[in-house]
Amino acid sequence: MLNTKLRMNFLELTELLGVGPENQTFKVGGKDVVFIFDAPHMMTVTRNNLMKHSLKIDGGGQTSWKHIKTLFVKESESGEQNTKLTESHINPDRQFKRTLPALAIDVLSNTVASEIEAYVESGKMPAEALATAECITMFDRLFDMLNARYEVSMNEFANAYKATKRQKQYLEKVMRFLETLKVFDNKGKEKTSEVKFISAWLTTIRGIMKLWEIIKDKDYDFLLTANTHSEPLDSFINQCRYKLIFIEAPTPRELCRRYLEVFIGFYFLFKSPQSFMNMRKYAELIYKRIPAVRHNLGNTSDTTQQRISLEEFTALVMEDLLHHWL
């Protein structure tokens, strides 16, 4: 499986690999690799489109970001905060905040949808806001299905994926919703063909279904869809950002240095201070994982396997560590 973000370079990759809503696999070494987009990142992209555009749902209703802003204002004025909405959710102006999936997931949540419905029912918001609530509910439940962390959950949509009848029916419903969704800018001009998040969601949904078809034949009982996310890598990079002092957009050099510091910190997390200084042991463990390198010698067909000695490797590791740490 290959998981990527919805960015221009990865969109170009989809064209090279020939993957998309109609085909979610490509071959590597004769084996099928399933291509999907990262679900948490997709929630961020969806939130951004909801902020920038109006989404017209099949049936006539249209979403508006002003409905979510109105909900935030009314909750703030009443003092009854039933959602997680804050100023950062409504106006994620900084680039770092705008890309945080957690903020987007809070906005596209069942709690926000339910509160909008309650305000409409009480007459405090117009009936047209129900389209926004419907859209939010659709993406909230879809994300629950693509974020399953346990085999069984109190939330039926967050159960591990097993391609049950109900799961397949809901995914089919979401795909019909996406296929009929229309996107308009604030001037009323249609932008459906220009936005990428709709086809990306379709690719991801069908990719998850395809992935299940592959792994169920390998004696898997269920698929924890949260394990398909790039969240662990994102979390690690964020830890690199926060090492010593916060750097919102570290350069490659800064990221490499912080990567080394975080890696070493994790490695020796449960070690004694004495072990912390035992760099030879650290080098030896890494050394054992490095396979011998095969070399072709000139035009002959002979091959030999060469490997630097442990002493040479330890010296290189020590030199590298001292270079970065001092």
The tens digit of pLDDT for each residue in 42-73 reads: 999 999 999 999 999 987 799 999 999 999 99
- The sign one gets for the Cα dihedral 68, 194, 200, 6 is negative
Q: Which pLDDT belongs to residue 96?
A: 58
Please give the Cα distance from 50 to 273 (Å, whole number). Answer: 51
Quick one: CA torsion of 13, 21, 168, 160, rounded to 10 degrees? 10
Condensed to tens digits (0 to 9), the pLDDT of residues 259-289 reads 666 665 555 544 444 544 455 565 566 556 5
- Please answer whether residues 47 and 85 qualify as being in contact, where contact means their C-beta atoms are separated by less than 8 angstroms: no
Residue 6: φ, ψ to 5°: -85, 80
pLDDT band at 225 (very low <50, low <70, confident <90, very high): very high
pLDDT band at 318 (very low <50, low <70, confident <90, very high): low
- Please answer whether residues 227 and 203 qualify as being in contact, where contact means their C-beta atoms are separated by less than 8 angstroms: no
Q: Provide the whole-model pTM.
A: 0.76
- For the chain, give the number of residues: 326
Q: Which pLDDT belongs to residue 297?
A: 37
Whether 207 shows a pLDDT value over 90: the answer reads yes
pLDDT > 70 fraction of the chain, expressed in percent and rounded: 69
- Please answer whether residues 292 and 305 qualify as being in contact, where contact means their C-beta atoms are separated by less than 8 angstroms: yes
Q: Determine the average pLDDT of the residues in 78-99.
A: 83
Condensed to tens digits (0 to 9), the pLDDT of residues 118-157 reads 999 999 999 999 999 999 999 999 999 999 999 999 999 9
